[in-house]
A and B are shown apart, each in its own frame.
Chain A
């Protein structure tokens, strides 16, 4: 059974304090790993897609990396507006959207 876990469950950072979020997965036939950001009461907002081990993508203060068993979302010098829940999802199997989501990491960045 495809599984996705995320750690830590919650993370509090001071503004400017860099850190990393972890996403570990067990899937058969990974087609893609996705990172989303979700603000309270809103739908997830797409951040990155990673397809193969060794791949990296960056967007502003965020950088996502992928290995064969896990992905990291690195946050450099975060700002309070980066506070949100970060969700990791995998697409596996042969077809279909069918994301399997992790439970998320709730990030709070304090000014």
Chain B
């Protein structure tokens, strides 16, 4: 069974640009969540999607947005990039939403904003 796949693995963008990251969950998993990981703040929850609807949102500005498609694949978009957005962005998938279920993480996308 294939794991969670995130593309691209590495990305370099200029301040002010926008970026879109992609996540393909484990087959059969319908919940996809996104996290930002930085050395200073650790892992922080961005948002969760289930059945193409955003179910939860963390404390991030509106520049961070996402969506989920009917095949459960998800994309995350960051507009007007700032230097502080440089981080490892992780996607996690799980079978169900609203249940005590573990999440399986992808390898992440390393975003560098210059």
Residues of A within 8 A of B (CB): 31-32, 34, 36, 41-46, 49, 51, 87, 89, 91, 94-104
Contact = CB atoms under 8 A, between A and B. Distances in A.
B90 interface: yes
Nearest to A101: B43
B100 A96 contact: no
Contacts of A103: 42
Interface in B92-114: 92, 94, 97-98, 100-108, 110
A99 B105 contact: no
A43 B107 contact: yes
A46 B56 contact: no
B56 A43 contact: no
A69 to B, nearest CB: 19
A41 to B, nearest CB: 8
Contacts of A45: 105
A99 B103 contact: yes
Contact of A43 (B31, B33, B48, B105): B105
Contacts of A99: 33, 35, 43, 45, 103
